Structure 1
Amino acid sequence: MAPRKSSIISYMDTHRFVVREISNAIRKFHDEKRPFRVYHGPTHSMRSMHDPKAVVHTGDLHHILDINTESKFAMVEPNVPMDRFVKETLKYGLMPAVTPAFPGTTVGGTFAGTAGGSSSFKYGFFDRAVTWIEVVLPDGKIMRASRNRNPDLFEGMVGTLGTIGIATLFQIQLVPATSHVELMYLPVESTIEALDTINRFSHDVEIDFVEGLIFGQTAPVYGVIAIGKLTRTRTRPERRFSRARDPWFYLDAQGAGDPCSVPIMDYLFRYDRGSFCMGRYCFGRIPFRKLTRCIADRAMHSRELMRTVQSLHWGDHFIIQDLVMPMESIYNTLDYLEKNLDIYPLRLCPIRQFPNAAAIMRPNPRNTRLYMGIGIRGLTNETANSPTAFKRAHRELEHVVHDLGGLKWLFSKNFYTEEEFWTIYPQREYEALREKYNAQYLASVYDKIHESERPSRLPKPQGFWNHVFLWTSALALKQKQGRHAGDFSPNLSG
């Protein structure tokens, strides 16, 4: 059954009031031609916040207004986290077509960040399931946009980081859900075998989820392809990833165990504990064992680890990047990453590209049908100790990604020059759109994502575990050894 009509009306009245307040605040900035930033709460972005006084607060937009079981759509405000959104839709046997693996990611952030998931080989990026959005424009005007109504605004909102307008409401198409996912791990011994396996299952209509993990040539298994299928009954022994005593997903996959049945919430947010593999780096001086992971479990979930990364300024040392590459460039990309970074594991996520997609910040230079997302989380001896090496590693990665016809998502560190940036993204179309919707006075996408030249910041630990990790992390150990010309390469198995 859908939410009670009275609660829908109440939420909608509240929504309209909050949007009017946002509109009024933006109109004042517009009248003064004063750029502003949007603040909606904690974020996974590595970008820093500027001018805290020129801020539009949207934190009150955190409600699910409606779930329509007949038409299979939901009306959702932007600050609803994905775990709450999925939990509510599952009550009606439905779920979003694409769900990012981190539960704290918000609906608005998932749309603006053009996020994908292990079902993206079938459905594309998350925004493909969004049928329309409500937008407050930079002059305070409130509009709706879809692929048929104001399509340039709709596509322009994807990935432009609030420099065209502020999305305040989403209608999202849902798909049928089940209680479990039947999960199978397929070990692979080479890049070619991994790509062939991913490509084969990406064309299998019976499969619902496909992704890969690459552990490298020196690991017990080079890589594992994880294949999932929705099932209404528990057909295999159950395995979970959400409890303190459960394995982290990437460690479980590395063991390449027998097929299992995973509860749907545990599967969709399988990377929550350990935040993919970032939690591993908290254990430099602490043994990385099942017992220690269990003891520190409260600090090992992605929301808490995100706060650790931000308060300890790990973003100044770690390479935290997501790439999207054409399939024909994947072999060369992985070869470069192995020879130049040697950071493992890598996450591979095939993503369907639709021919009529027209998002400004997601160009398709190779006109390919299937992209591959590559998630990189880690650090090297050089990036841990040298800001110069840190920047150089990012600059080289930016050049390689561009040369191979791919994109690097903008939520993390970016060192492009302005000229380079606008050779990748269509500046003329972007500026024309900003002029049409009165956004010229706002900071541009490049202004928001460019990493300013500044020294690495000192950690400001917040909370018990952050004080612990300040001294026990792999980064702390690596920096100490670096001062003594030592070397440290964290073992990612445990």
Structure 2
Amino acid sequence: MGELALKQKLFRWMEDHRGIIIVFFVLPLSIIFGWVMKLHHWIQCKMISAHEGHDKKVKTVQQKVRKWCDLMPAERKMMCTARPNWQSLSTTFFRKDQCHQIPIPLYDILDLNTEKMFVRVEPMVSVGDITAFLVPRGYTLAVCLEVAEATLGGLAMGVGMTTYSHKVGLYQETILAYEMVLADGSLIRVTKDNEHRDLYYCLPWSHGTLGFLVALELQIIRIKPYLKLEYMPVRGQKEYCDKMREVSGAIDKDYKAPDYVEGTIYNKDEAVIMVGNFSDVPPDEMFKINCISAWYKPWFYKHVENFLKTGYDYEYVPLQDYLLRHNRALFWVVETMIPFGNHPLFRLLLGWMLPPRIAFLKFTTTPGVRVMTFTKQVFQDIVLPMNQLEDQINISHEVFNIYPILVYPCRIYDHEPHSGQLRPPRQEQRVPGTNYGMFNDLGVYGVPQQVKERKQFDAVDAMRKMEKFTREVGGYPFLYADTFMTREEFDQMFDMTAYEQMRKKYQAEGAFPHLFDKTKPEIDVIEVGKQFMDPL
């Protein structure tokens, strides 16, 4: 009893002093871990070839899966990767302790093919790794997330979107091939043109419930050293929504859209829209270069907010700085944990240690902090049709009242009904004359205004209203975040027809958890939400 009481006191102290833990423990651990990964990257670059090592590691994965197959049926637990929950970017903690865990130690960049314009990687390669590898060589991923810690395999089995997505679509559209170990231990290569075409369209959004990913080929694009980034402050909701639709090409398929497009909404009536194009820097404009990701610089969203006061302007941003522009502040999530993180003095003394690694933040998540992540905070990315951008903002304002809000335009293609978890865009959502609709990511992160004002906030009611709106307009939440749907509502939102067929065809039933079970919160969010409705 004494030991239990001590643990409870420790958990309570961690909850009350999480900022101290992050500054004095999480940040130093993050730096050390980053140095280790850089050393790994340096060693990797010195290797003549990683193929032989890759093949050997994949065979080991196959052997472990086959050993699971040899178990008596009563002894088999469903399989999952052995990667600890705290190392993933999901806000949930899937019960891996109830599964048969298979190690997937695949961290290498395998091949860069500049003729066919793809890079072949193992699934545990991070965005930070691939950006550091490609950009100096004059390339980047067609869809490159802003968070360095995200893994390329995690994005492939989940979902990814970035400010180039208005040109190419979701991350899944840029995957040329998946290499998968199935439930029987066999190794297959999956493309949109081979005999596994049906599986190709179901692997995105499957979250590791159809097999183990062991390699993938990703589309790359050529770049220039800099991006000419224009900042356009817009006032009036209709005005900035119309501008977003215009610059993304949502209205006219022949419109020459810029290379990168994004918007940050600072309140219901004000936003800054950013457009960027690959560029060299004219000799007479060298003073316009801004390394926005430098550790001593203001956080990017704070920098952008200044243009609401100063008006339109542009600058030249080194491409790697742009690609990881939201990394130091994890968009604006770090502010909820380190409120003074953007203070000039903090940036000067400790800014070089940011960002805290999400893995270590999850490692310090006590039961109380876990409850707080959905009862007092919001972390949601939602794919919604851009023709209803005003409605998105209004419902978000009604149920959350959180700002800033992130908006990334993105094509959602029609791959025919029942060909994957995403339904084809509705006719009124399509860009005229194309086979895609222009959607957008609505990124809502932070503390609702009701919580800040110490008023009652019903997280369950708010999220269920948002999910109902999302279902009605044909949208989808990213499944890394907490969901509040019943199984019936989940099946209404996602097209599970082909997914269920693939579960049977590739022997995933009984071998891997179902997508709904894999992604639902590990706690009863409805019941816990009722217990935490009182004001702070």
1:182 to 205, 223, 228: 228
Q: Percentage identity across aligned positions?
A: 24
Does the CA-based 8 Å contact 1:65-1:75 persist in structure 2? yes
Which residue does 2:211 correspond to in 1? Answer: 165
Using structure 2 for the length normalisation, give the TM-score.
0.78
Partner of 1:259, secondary structure, is: strand
Which residue does 2:329 correspond to in 1? Answer: 274
Q: Does 1:360 align with 2:403?
A: no
| 1:310-358 deviation line (CA, Å, top 9, x unaligned) | 5243534321000111122221111111122110000000001223377
Does the CA-based 8 Å contact 1:26-1:56 persist in structure 2? no
For 2:118 and 2:242, the matched residues in 1 are separated by 35
Evaluate the alpha carbon distance shift between residue 386 and residue 135 of structure 1 in structure 2; reply closer, same or farther with a 3 A threshold.
farther
Which residue does 1:391 correspond to in 2? Answer: 460
| 1:161-180 deviation line (CA, Å, top 9, x unaligned) | 11111111111221111111
2:78 to 5, 28, 35: 35
Evaluate the alpha carbon distance shift between residue 24 and residue 379 of structure 1 in structure 2; reply closer, same or farther with a 3 A threshold.
same
1:418 to 484, 487, 501: 487
For 1:389 and 1:29, the matched residues in 2 are separated by 44
Does the CA-based 8 Å contact 1:216-1:223 persist in structure 2? yes
- 1:75 CA drift (Å): 1.1
Does the CA-based 8 Å contact 1:183-1:229 persist in structure 2? yes
Evaluate the alpha carbon distance shift between residue 359 and residue 105 of structure 1 in structure 2; reply closer, same or farther with a 3 A threshold.
farther
Partner of 2:59, secondary structure, is: helix
Evaluate the alpha carbon distance shift between residue 58 and residue 330 of structure 1 in structure 2; reply closer, same or farther with a 3 A threshold.
farther
Which residue does 1:226 correspond to in 2? Answer: 274
Which residue does 2:122 correspond to in 1? Answer: 77
Q: How does 1:77-476 map to 2 (within 5 A)?
A: 77-149=122-194, 150-203=196-249, 204-205=255-256, 207-217=258-268, 222-233=270-281, 235=285, 237-256=288-307, 258-284=313-339, 286=340, 289-298=343-352, 300-301=354-355, 303-305=356-358, 307-308=360-361, 311-312=364-365, 313=369, 315-316=373-374, 317-356=376-415, 360-367=420-427, 368=430, 369-380=437-448, 389-441=458-510, 442-454=512-524
Report the residue type matching 2:439 in the other structure: Y
Evaluate the alpha carbon distance shift between residue 206 and residue 7 of structure 1 in structure 2; reply closer, same or farther with a 3 A threshold.
same
| 1:414-443 deviation line (CA, Å, top 9, x unaligned) | 121111111222333221110000000021
Report the residue type matching 1:34 in the other structure: K
Report the residue type matching 1:319 in the other structure: V
Partner of 2:276, secondary structure, is: strand
Report the residue type matching 1:378 in the other structure: G
Report the residue type matching 1:429 in the other structure: A
Using structure 1 for the length normalisation, give the TM-score.
0.85
Partner of 1:65, secondary structure, is: strand
- 1:186 CA drift (Å): 0.5
For 1:49 and 1:106, the matched residues in 2 are separated by 18
Report the residue type matching 2:514 in the other structure: S
For 1:379 and 1:55, the matched residues in 2 are separated by 37
For 2:192 and 2:353, the matched residues in 1 are separated by 41
Question: Tell me, which stretches of 5 or more residues in structure 1 are unaligned?
Answer: 457-478, 484-494
| 1:50-100 deviation line (CA, Å, top 9, x unaligned) | 133634444521111111222222111111111211221223211111111
For 2:92 and 2:129, the matched residues in 1 are separated by 25
Partner of 1:52, secondary structure, is: helix
Corresponding pairs, count: 454
Which residue does 2:109 correspond to in 1? Answer: 64
For 1:202 and 1:365, the matched residues in 2 are separated by 17
For 1:169 and 1:209, the matched residues in 2 are separated by 28
Partner of 1:162, secondary structure, is: coil
For 1:325 and 1:307, the matched residues in 2 are separated by 31
Higher helix share: 2
Does the CA-based 8 Å contact 1:279-1:305 persist in structure 2? no
Give the root-mean-square deviation of aligned CA atoms: 2.9
For 2:104 and 2:386, the matched residues in 1 are separated by 38
Evaluate the alpha carbon distance shift between residue 118 and residue 321 of structure 1 in structure 2; reply closer, same or farther with a 3 A threshold.
same
Partner of 2:180, secondary structure, is: strand
For 1:425 and 1:211, the matched residues in 2 are separated by 26
